[in-house]
Chains A and B, each alone.
Chain A
Amino acid sequence: MTRPQPSWSAVLLRTLPRATPLHRMWAGTKLVVLLAITVTCLALPGWGAVAALIGVVAVAGATARVPMSVVPRPPIWFWLLLAVGAAVALLGAGLALYVQALVISFGVLGLGLLLGWTTPLDEIPPALASLGRPLVRVGLPVETWAAAVGISLRTLPLLVEEIRVITAVQRARRPPSAPRIQALRRAARDGVDLCVTLLAVTVRRAAEIGTATAARGGTPLVARRAVHLVGADLAAFGAAALTVAAAALYP
């Protein structure tokens, strides 16, 4: 047996039990900074952006004291594929571009993971409501949207558990030995069954959540929470500004 590996569902959107500046930061700051850095890296993908991104991820990861054990480890064939891609790019004289594209994809993904590891989920809907406040003036139901995000987040663990049970049932149903071609057909059918079963359960849950919402007096507005920006928030805005500057200066 290989060494135990956490499954993706075990590490995504789970808060690390720590008290670091990143944990104290307002969820809205993290969302804005994440979006700003992502857009910068897409708009100006150069060495400046790459360097700034690596720096931000490294500093934030160290500040949040993220242990290596929670970082998802892709399987070996994934790395092989990357290596083949690099070799081909090298032959085509495009290794620099290849590395830039790769680092930016991983860096942006890393920022997202950091947000998940340092932000309790219940802080996200109020932060969205606060960030979307200007849109309320235009007449958009931002607070209802934020509440819907809350429902999505609230039902996510139920979905994960349901996928676990459905696939377990399918594993137990597989005949002890089957020809390969049948196994393939079965895999395709299992995939569709998984989705339809999940959908059947989810549609029922949607009706139940609807009833529960009515029982609380109808479609709600998410209560904004008071926002207290701390030093860490300013540092995060600084990091975003630095990334923009680096990307613009060294495109």
Chain B
Amino acid sequence: MSASGNGSARAVAGRAALTAAEFGAAGVLGGLAAAIIAVGKVLPHAGALEILATIPFAVLAAQRRPRAVLTGAIAGGTVALLLAGLGAFITVGGCAVVGGAAGWVKAHGRGGWAVLGSALLLGPLAGLAADAMLLLFAPLRALAIGSVRHVAAGAAIALHPVPVLGPTAAYLRDLVGLVTDAWWLWIPVAATVAAVGGMLVTWRLLGAAIARLAPVHGEGIGDLAQEPDAPPPVPLPVSMAGIEVRHPGAEAPALVVESLAITPGSFVVVTGTNGSGKTTLLHVLAGAPVTAGRIDRPGPVGLGRVGGTSLVLQRPETQVLGMTVADDLAWGLPEGYPVDVDGALAEVGLAGLVERPTSALSGGQLQRLAIAAAIIRRPALLLSDESTAMVDSAGREGIVALLAELPRRHGITVVHVTHFEVEAQAADRHIVLAGGRIVRDGAPAPAARAAPAAARPEVVASPSPGPVLDARGLGYVYAPGTPWAHVALRDVSMHVAAGEGVRIEGGNGSGKTTLAWLLAGLLVPTSGSCTLGDRPVHRLPGAVSIAFQHSRLQVQRPTVDAEIASAAAREFASRDEQILFARRALALVDLDGDVAERPVDALSGGQLKRVALAGILARDPRVLVLDEPFAGLDPDSRDALVGTLVRLREVRGMAIVLITHDLVGADRLCPRVISLRQGVLV
């Protein structure tokens, strides 16, 4: 197993239909290409960006079969057509050809000469196609050639009296005349030059992109070959013996199970820290292959099939695939399958939202929708992969209660994987994993009310030298003056003093994220002001630091040391100095200094969050705004992070504004609470 994780896609037979992973990659990367092209077309000065749209197709072609590239080109082309017209559609086509060729060359291990060769082949072909079009559409040809000639002639007349420019313009006019006379020759020549240039740029960027993406490998569920003609699924009871799962390139196995059996009709909760192998166990239950060992089931797993196995995932926004609630429930169901939409929605607490676009649902609602889409298939086995990790504590309780009822109500066996030990309380069986092994398996232990760290009240003794950040009558309207105008924030006045911790609390749509952006100076308020000292904060970029919820968007340099230097706005003469600086910053967030030299894409979610924070702290901000810093962290990482932040607040006098709907540890960090409801302070 020396191939990387994505290599398994190649195992799929050449003419087989798209796998789920190929389909997902085609849709998502095609959409990215379309977005890049549209930005280039809509913003005239960003036109040069359009060449970058070859990269998504190159990555697609390097990892997937040509039919996935074709699907991506069709998806991207259609979206580009909708966004910016026929020209954008054609540009996407060109980018797909150039990027696809570069990616194909990369995947087949050929070098620069193959790239050049394919450009020299594709360029003239595209040019000849354009020739054929212009031959066919003579009036269009007249228009295009005519306008170029007239502009050249006009420029020559206008510049005639100017000493040097005049003759140059006249010369250019004659040149344009010559070129346009032989347009059928020059178009293929220009196309070839463009193809060679585009291919070389793509090839260089693709190298950088692939190097960064190498540590990213899918979990493999989407790569499983489909089994349309398989017998009816019977996933349970399942028993495993001597199972071992080893990810490609990893030294230690991700999972080792001596023996485990799951019988029908129970609610099983699996807990463990990050990297304990719990997700791997779930994937084995979902039908992922194992490196060694034996799995016995009466029939096929039937992932996603009626009566088979359903899977609910962690990220709300990427597992809901339809554009409206009704669409999503029906997504992927066999034609003619009776769908009780209202019943399913009522059961998960989403009654009456059938027509709602999925983009308007909150994270908790999206997770409930995913559960509805799972149970509508009447699965024998429902697998939940940290489906509560990204949801607030109230939403979490609701989802666990819903899962716990399924065995009794529908006879669905539920295996729920989670960070949160509490969620095992309602389980029939609690499995604990550590280091890839089962360390406990049995009835859940009675609630051990572990008194949280908040039990020791911290003295808020920091001196308050007046407000650092001062907001007066702050308001913000999105898309003002259009029918979509939306008042996100109205007349908010607040202040934050040095060494103070303020938590902003509010539900979805309360405007707390908008407030965070305004406090950090990233948005210009549409009314009121937000000042730091006596200057508006939006004129002081970087003075107030903000840590975003999605750390992967914040961490932008390829390695940890470069990232921390960049976030701290520092430049170093040598890499050694930069690494030393990064090590000191990493110590602030309790991360091992050895992380400093690693590529950022090889970090776990928890590590990445801390690296992002280390970079911000290295700039020594007076005010730090944190947007959902605990989402997706396991309890240990969260406690460590809270401890670090409390120390910084008390010792350095850093002011902290915290936005979270997760209350554990929040009071210790931010004793003062401000509540927002629909954009207004209450």
Q: Which residues of A contact B (CB under 8 A)?
A: 1, 3-4, 6-8, 10-14, 16-18, 35, 38-39, 42-46, 67, 69-70, 72, 74, 78, 85, 87-95, 97-98, 100-101, 108-109, 111-112, 115-116, 120-122, 124, 128, 141, 144-145, 147-160, 162-163, 165-166, 168-176, 191-221, 223, 251
Report 13 cross-chain contacts, Cβ distance below 8 Å, ordered by A residue: A43-B140, A88-B154, A92-B157, A97-B146, A97-B150, A141-B71, A144-B18, A153-B323, A168-B522, A197-B555, A199-B213, A207-B222, A219-B226
Among listed B72-80, B113-121, B397-405, B427-435, interface-contacting one: B72-80
Contact with A along B305-342 (1 / 0, CB 8 A): 10000111101011111111001001111010000000
Chain B residues 26 to 57 lying within 8 A of chain A, measured CB to CB, are 26-32, 34-36, 38, 42-44, 49, 52, 55-56
CB of B208 within 8 A of chain A?
yes
Q: Which residues in A have their C-beta under 8 angstroms from that of B566?
A: 173
Contact A205 B35 (CB under 8 A): no
Q: Which residues in B have their C-beta under 8 angstroms from that of A201?
A: 550, 552-553
B573 to chain A, nearest CB (A): 15
Residue of B nearest to A71 (CB): B482
A8 to chain B, nearest CB (A): 5
User: Cα distance A192–B206 when bound, in Å?
Assistant: 12
Q: Which residues in A have their C-beta under 8 angstroms from that of B149?
A: 92, 94
User: Cα distance A144–B332 when bound, in Å?
Assistant: 11
Contact A200 B601 (CB under 8 A): yes
Known: A4-B477, A220-B332. 17 other contacts (CB 8 A): A4-B480, A12-B42, A14-B484, A91-B158, A94-B150, A98-B150, A144-B17, A155-B28, A159-B35, A168-B522, A172-B546, A206-B24, A206-B28, A211-B319, A212-B318, A212-B321, A217-B303
Contact A213 B556 (CB under 8 A): no
Chain B residues 127 to 159 lying within 8 A of chain A, measured CB to CB, are 136-137, 139-140, 143, 146-147, 149-158
Q: Which residues in A have their C-beta under 8 angstroms from that of B359?
A: 154, 157
Q: Which residues in A have their C-beta under 8 angstroms from that of B483?
A: 16-18, 67, 69-70
B28 to chain A, nearest CB (A): 4
User: Cα distance A223–B26 when bound, in Å?
Assistant: 19
B680 to chain A, nearest CB (A): 21
Contact A219 B19 (CB under 8 A): yes
CB of B216 within 8 A of chain A?
yes
Residue of A nearest to B226 (CB): A218
User: Cα distance A100–B520 when bound, in Å?
Assistant: 48
Contact B601 A94 (CB under 8 A): no
Chain B residues 554 to 583 lying within 8 A of chain A, measured CB to CB, are 554-558, 566-567, 569
Contact B209 A213 (CB under 8 A): no
Contact B31 A174 (CB under 8 A): no
Contact with A along B380-420 (1 / 0, CB 8 A): 00000000000000000000000000000000000000000
CB of B648 within 8 A of chain A?
no
User: Pick the contact of B319 from A122, A148, A212 — CB < 8 Å?
Assistant: A212
User: Cα distance A197–B222 when bound, in Å?
Assistant: 23
Residue of A nearest to B152 (CB): A92
Q: Which residues in B have their C-beta under 8 angstroms from that of A108?
A: 85-86
Q: Which residues in B have their C-beta under 8 angstroms from that of A88?
A: 151, 154-155, 158
Residue of B nearest to A221 (CB): B335
User: Cα distance A151–B331 when bound, in Å?
Assistant: 11
CB of B161 within 8 A of chain A?
no
Contact with A along B203-238 (1 / 0, CB 8 A): 001001100110011110111101010000000000
Contact A207 B21 (CB under 8 A): yes
User: Pick the contact of B224 from A7, A46, A69, A214 — CB < 8 Å?
Assistant: A214
Q: Which residues in B have their C-beta under 8 angstroms from that of A90?
A: 154
A58 to chain B, nearest CB (A): 18
User: Pick the contact of B137 from A3, A10, A43 — CB < 8 Å?
Assistant: A43
Contact B311 A122 (CB under 8 A): no
Contact B332 A218 (CB under 8 A): yes
Chain B residues 610 to 627 lying within 8 A of chain A, measured CB to CB, are none
B523 to chain A, nearest CB (A): 9
User: Pick the contact of A152 from B34, B154, B217 — CB < 8 Å?
Assistant: B34
User: Pick the contact of B78 from A152, A169, A211 — CB < 8 Å?
Assistant: A152
Most B Cβ at <10 Å: residue of A163, A174, A209? A209
CB of B351 within 8 A of chain A?
no
A82 to chain B, nearest CB (A): 11
A3 to chain B, nearest CB (A): 8
Contact with A along B61-86 (1 / 0, CB 8 A): 00000000001101110110111111
Q: Which residues in A have their C-beta under 8 angstroms from that of B49?
A: 191
Q: Which residues of B contact A (CB under 8 A)?
A: 17-32, 34-36, 38, 42-44, 49, 52, 55-56, 59, 71-72, 74-76, 78-79, 81-86, 136-137, 139-140, 143, 146-147, 149-158, 205, 208-209, 212-213, 216-219, 221-224, 226, 228, 286, 303-305, 310-313, 315, 317-324, 327, 330-333, 335, 357-359, 373-374, 377, 477-484, 517, 520-522, 524, 526, 540-542, 545-546, 548, 550, 552-558, 566-567, 569, 601
A143 to chain B, nearest CB (A): 11
User: Pick the contact of B79 from A3, A156, A166 — CB < 8 Å?
Assistant: A156
Which 7 pairs, one residue from A and one from B, show the smallest C-beta to C-beta distance?
A: A94-B150, A151-B27, A210-B222, A92-B154, A217-B304, A210-B24, A152-B31
Contact B480 A6 (CB under 8 A): yes
A209 and B335 in contact (CB under 8 A), knowing A67-B483, A149-B79, A152-B75?
A: no
User: Cα distance A211–B152 when bound, in Å?
Assistant: 55
Contact A196 B209 (CB under 8 A): yes
User: Cα distance A201–B209 when bound, in Å?
Assistant: 12
User: Cα distance A170–B320 when bound, in Å?
Assistant: 30
Contact A152 B304 (CB under 8 A): no
User: Cα distance A218–B28 when bound, in Å?
Assistant: 16
User: Cα distance A39–B212 when bound, in Å?
Assistant: 42
Q: Which residues in B have their C-beta under 8 angstroms from that of A44?
A: 139
A208 and B209 in contact (CB under 8 A), knowing A12-B83, A174-B541, A223-B335?
A: no
Contact B482 A6 (CB under 8 A): yes
Contact A42 B553 (CB under 8 A): no
Contact B147 A151 (CB under 8 A): no
Contact B154 A154 (CB under 8 A): no
Contact A43 B139 (CB under 8 A): yes
B543 to chain A, nearest CB (A): 8
B544 to chain A, nearest CB (A): 8
A153 and B31 in contact (CB under 8 A), knowing A43-B137, A219-B226?
A: yes
A6 and B481 in contact (CB under 8 A), knowing A152-B30, A171-B522, A196-B208?
A: yes
Contact B23 A211 (CB under 8 A): no
A11 and B147 in contact (CB under 8 A), knowing A172-B542, A191-B49, A197-B552?
A: no
A225 to chain B, nearest CB (A): 10
Q: Which residues in A have their C-beta under 8 angstroms from that of B558?
A: 196
B592 to chain A, nearest CB (A): 23
User: Cα distance A39–B140 when bound, in Å?
Assistant: 10
Contact A148 B153 (CB under 8 A): no
Residue of B nearest to A195 (CB): B52
Q: Which residues in A have their C-beta under 8 angstroms from that of B222?
A: 207, 209-211, 213-214
A214 and B304 in contact (CB under 8 A), knowing A4-B477, A92-B150?
A: yes
User: Cα distance A72–B332 when bound, in Å?
Assistant: 38
Residue of A nearest to B84 (CB): A112
Q: Which residues in A have their C-beta under 8 angstroms from that of B152?
A: 92
Q: Which residues in B have their C-beta under 8 angstroms from that of A159?
A: 31-32, 35
Q: Which residues in B have their C-beta under 8 angstroms from that of A171?
A: 522, 541-542
Contact B548 A116 (CB under 8 A): no
Residue of B nearest to A72 (CB): B42
B472 to chain A, nearest CB (A): 17
User: Cα distance A221–B477 when bound, in Å?
Assistant: 40
B618 to chain A, nearest CB (A): 11
A52 to chain B, nearest CB (A): 15
